[in-house]
Structure 1
Amino acid sequence: MTDIVVQQPAGTPQQLFMLHHGVGATPEGLVPFGRRLAQEFPEALVVSLQGPQASDLGQGYQWFSVVGITEENRPERVAAAMPAFVKAVQDWQARVGVSPEATALVGFSQGAIMALESTQQDVFLAGRVLALSGRFAQLPKAPHAHTTLHFVHGKADKVMHYGYTVTAAEHLVSLGSDVTADVIPFVGHEVNQDVVDTAVERLLGHLPKRHWEAVHQAAEQDDTAED
């Protein structure tokens, strides 16, 4: 199995959505969510990627091994996996002719860890990162100024506690980053309809902070010119 293209627009894609599954899963698992994204963003290319390694869990794939993983060694494993992750994103961007600004990285669980941690690289990869039941490997620095981060997490998640989302969001807000965070009651470690609906609502309805700032700056310049 390889990457799955969920939607290929007839013309040149205006956006690129890249979906990244969790450990022990396959690209097929996020195809239903990809189909919803395709409905909402008909001019986007939507692709569900396959993790580069066979999973140590005996089925599916992974971005990095979780055997013997700890809070201390997780950042090292993520860092080791990051060059291949970055290359995959850039290869798809080059293949379809979509800029980082028009790219959204979507990740579930381990895929969300990779997507979030990619915002800590020197290279600018995506205008939006959507983390479903995810976390940072460690509390981050401010991401690129043109990156908006969306967190969606089930409050009943027993695999990855929702507190990671709350802590990261509060930390990022204190750094002046553009962040939304939704914690959904009675939802576990899953991508169910409530998660999908919330994620789509954020992608469609949230005006990035940089756009607000641009409008505000333009208004101030107009006021100055009138004076």
Structure 2
Amino acid sequence: MTDDIELLPAGRPEQLMVLLHGRGQDAAAMLPLARALRREFAHAALLLPQDLLPADGPAEDLVARVAAALPRLLRWVRDAQQRLGATPQSTALVGFGEGATMALEAASADDGIAGRVIAFGGGYAALPAQAPALTTLHFLHGEADALHPVAEARRTLEHLGVLHGDATLDIARGVGHEVHPALVDCAIHRLTHHIPHRTWREALGALPAAAAGGCRDDGVTD
């Protein structure tokens, strides 16, 4: 297992991205994604913490295990923001599998801790009673993901739509449970092109619902 990994810019970072690995992985597993993000966001600080996941246990106990692990993750993110001078709205929580679950649940437990959540192949431990008002949620899913079926991601998006959440879903055809390059491209597209609905609300006084679509606006990416 590795220690925490940090990829820092030369000067003060303009963004903070926290990459949370999946179950059975370590921080180094997120390095290919971190390098892809660094090419697009050269002035971002990319932090890859080691093992902020829930403790091992039965799947039916996931809600309780996530709740027990969340305080440590929230403290870790707040400490990193303070240390690097990063604002919550310039922070993105990026997770894979159970790392995605932790990122999503963190945004629910502390609304506004991050401006974006990027969830690769993962979902909530339990669907939220309300959507975060200050965080945009981007779900990236493989159509052939057997561990977290894409049908669950679609149901989650529908649920968030009912709650007037700001969320997107991109699905990669023929991709399983992995951080596939096609999904990485979708994540970068969302980070660089999606205007948060809270920004539209401020400008127009409207409240759009969550929207499904591919990163090329065609529902599914090849």
TM class by smaller structure: 0.7 to 0.9
CA distance in 2, matches of 1:165, 1:120: 17
Q: Is residue 102 of structure 2 the alignment partner of residue 114 of structure 1? A: yes
3-state SS of paired residue (1:5):
strand
3-state SS in 2 of match to 1:31: helix
Trace 1:9-158 onto structure 2 (pairs within 5 A): 9-52=9-52, 63-70=53-60, 73-122=61-110, 124-158=112-146
In structure 2, runs of 5+ residues without a counterpart are 206-222
> Does the CA contact (< 8 Å) of 1:120 and 1:141 recur in 2?
no
Q: Paired residue for 1:224?
A: none
Structure 1: unaligned runs, 5 residues or longer: 53-62, 218-227
Q: 1:196 and 1:122 mapped to 2: Cα distance?
A: 26
**Structure-1 residue corresponding to 2:159:** 171
State the percentage of identical aligned residues. 41
Are 2:197 and 1:209 aligned?
yes
SS of aligned partner of 1:46: strand
Q: Give the SS at the match of 2:46.
A: strand
Offset, 1:143: 3.2
TM-score, with structure 2 as normaliser? 0.88
Amino acid at match of 1:191: V
2:6 is aligned to: 5
User: What displacement does 1:123 show?
Assistant: 5.0
Structure 1 residue ranges, 4+ long, deviating more than 4 angstroms after superposition: none
- Matches of 2:172 and 2:12, distance apart in 1: 36
Work out the CA distance in 1 between the residues paired with 2:110 and 2:138: 20
Q: For 2:178 and 2:57, locate their aligned partners in 1 and report how far apart those are by CA, in whole Å.
A: 22
Once residues 57 and 68 of structure 2 are traced to their aligned partners in structure 1, the CA distance between those partners, rounded to angstroms, is 15
TM-score, normalised with respect to structure 1: 0.86
How many residue pairs are counted as aligned between the two chains? Answer: 204
Q: Is the 8 A contact 2:142 2:171 kept in 1?
A: yes
Asked whether the equivalents of residues 131 and 164 of structure 2 are also in contact (C-alpha less than 8 Å), the reply is: no
Cα distance per residue 1:74-102 (max 9 Å; x no partner): 11110011111111111111110101111
1: CA distance, partners of 2:32 / 2:170: 21
Structure number, greater radius of gyration: 1
Q: What is the aligned-residue RMSD (CA, Å)?
A: 1.3
| C-alpha contact 2:119 2:138 (8 A) present in aligned 1 | yes
What is the Cα deviation at residue 185 of structure 1? 1.4
